[in-house]
Amino acid sequence: MRAASRSFFLLAIGLLAGGLHAESLLLRGSVGKYPVVMKLDADDGTASGSYFYEKYKQDISLRGKVDGQSYALSSAIFDADDKNADHFALTRTKDIVKGTFTGGNGKSLPVELHIVQPGSVPEPKSGLHFSRELGDYEKLQLADLTFVPGKKETVGGKYVIQWYTEPHSKVSMFRVVSGYPEPVIASINTVIDSDFYGNLSGYFGCSDETGKPGTDTMQVSDYFLNDRFVSYAVSSSWFCAGAAHPDFATGGTTIDAQTGKQLTQEDLYWLGTGAKPAPNSDAWMKYHDKVFGPAMVKLLGRLYPQEMKPVGDEDGCNYADPDVWKFGSWYLTAKGMYVGAYFARVQKACDNPEWSFIPYGILKKNNPALFGN
């Protein structure tokens, strides 16, 4: 959920240690007979963090206090003494943390956790490339995922995709089965899998105030395959514990179907001069601020004059403002390149209008080498 890009909201998870010295710990063990992973931080007597049951993967937030080597933690977000919340009473002895878990139902279970050494956790699946580096906690959370195969679908009369669903989150994603050369299919699916795992990390890392999933929706909202591109969008909505408000976003991914490499928007539609900047670099930010945003207002104003009329009302959707187009989502469709708008919180409903497409004729004129066929 990337994207758009959401950069799906992940809970800040934190610490465990005594005294004034801040320290982060990753712990793995069991609550009763149930395997768990816990990440905690503590500083100056306070602690926060999260844990998950390995069977279910979903984060459950923690907060509490540290007194020497003793830790009192609660899953309650606002009231640590909430009797309906889950509580941990733990004591650390060297690399082992033991104690008691007491559920909101009053049932108690023994706890034994062992410190996981930093850097000792392998990648959740070899060959994947993530937009950000995964921590050991996230790697363990994404380990041993299973995917239930769903329907096969033929797109464009030629390209066959197979849908898969992760059973805990119920989130689905497709993989390409046929329609391109086998080596290219393998590369395409590596990009898709990397994105899928990244979105699942966002899903499992967002819990509500009761420890249940805070992500309301996460689904492929659009997908397009032809002889040159594989492109799709993932739309998500969520309300994570501790956040001030719900949020939503759409993230797009576009892949070169001849090479299997993921493409940037600048690869497809470049409006600058000189070398293209690296994504998210200072030069990239400057390009989108000074060049891309204003260019979108000019282009879309010509293509969609009614929708792009300036709005004087502060509560209205003013698509004539270059700022709303600078960093929006994008992906390819049968109509052309969709470009999304991104508004501040109070105008969030204005995000991603239905009409903002750049037709292929314009894309071809800008980039005949890529869109010439």
Task: Retrieve residue 285's tokens.
Answer: 């930010």
Task: For residue 302, give the nearest of 277, 319, 316, 284 by alpha carbon.
Answer: 319
pLDDT at 43 over 90: no
pLDDT, one tens digit per residue, over 353-365 is 999 999 999 999 9
Q: How confident is the model at residue 80 (pLDDT cuts 50, 70, 90)?
A: low
Polymer length of the chain: 373
Starting at the earlier edge strand, list the strands of the sheet with 357-358.
330-333, 336-339, 357-358
> Contact 209/59 with Cβ under 8 angstroms?
no
Report DSSP state, residue 132: S
C-alpha span between 74 and 55 (Å, rounded): 21
What pLDDT shows up at residue 239? 94
What is the pLDDT of the chain when averaged over all its residues? Answer: 90
Helix (H, G, I), strand (E, B) or coil at 202: helix
The single-letter code of the amino acid at 92 is R
Task: For residue 64, give the nearest of 55, 52, 54, 73 by alpha carbon.
Answer: 73
> Contact 262/254 with Cβ under 8 angstroms?
yes
Neighbouring CB atoms inside 10 A of 215's CB total 25
Task: Retrieve residue 147's tokens.
Answer: 């995917």
Task: Retrieve residue 253's tokens.
Answer: 């991914």
pLDDT, one tens digit per residue, over 22-38 is 688 999 999 999 999 99
Starting at the earlier edge strand, list the strands of the sheet with 159-166.
148-155, 159-166, 171-178
Q: What is the pTM of this model?
A: 0.89
> Contact 337/366 with Cβ under 8 angstroms?
no
pLDDT at 1 over 70: no
pLDDT at 12 over 80: no
Neighbouring CB atoms inside 10 A of 56's CB total 14
What pLDDT shows up at residue 347? 85
The helix or strand, by DSSP H or E, that contains position 91, with its residue range, turns out to be strand 87-93
Average pLDDT on 343-355 reads 89
Of the ranges 77-81, 130-134, 250-254, which one carries the lowest mean pLDDT score?
A: 77-81
> Contact 272/244 with Cβ under 8 angstroms?
no
Q: Which residues pair with 36 in a beta bridge?
A: 29, 53
Neighbouring CB atoms inside 10 A of 103's CB total 15
C-alpha span between 240 and 206 (Å, rounded): 5
Number of helices and strands in the chain (H, E): 8, 17
What pLDDT shows up at residue 210? 82
> Contact 4/265 with Cβ under 8 angstroms?
no
Average pLDDT on 205-224 reads 93
pLDDT, one tens digit per residue, over 106-160 is 899 999 999 999 999 999 999 999 988 899 999 999 999 999 999 999 999 999 9
Q: How confident is the model at residue 81 (pLDDT cuts 50, 70, 90)?
A: low
Neighbouring CB atoms inside 10 A of 110's CB total 12
pLDDT, one tens digit per residue, over 267-287 is 999 999 999 999 999 999 999
In degrees rounded to 5, what are phi and psi of residue 291? Answer: -115, -60
Using the structure block, give the residue that is written with the tokens 């391109």. 180
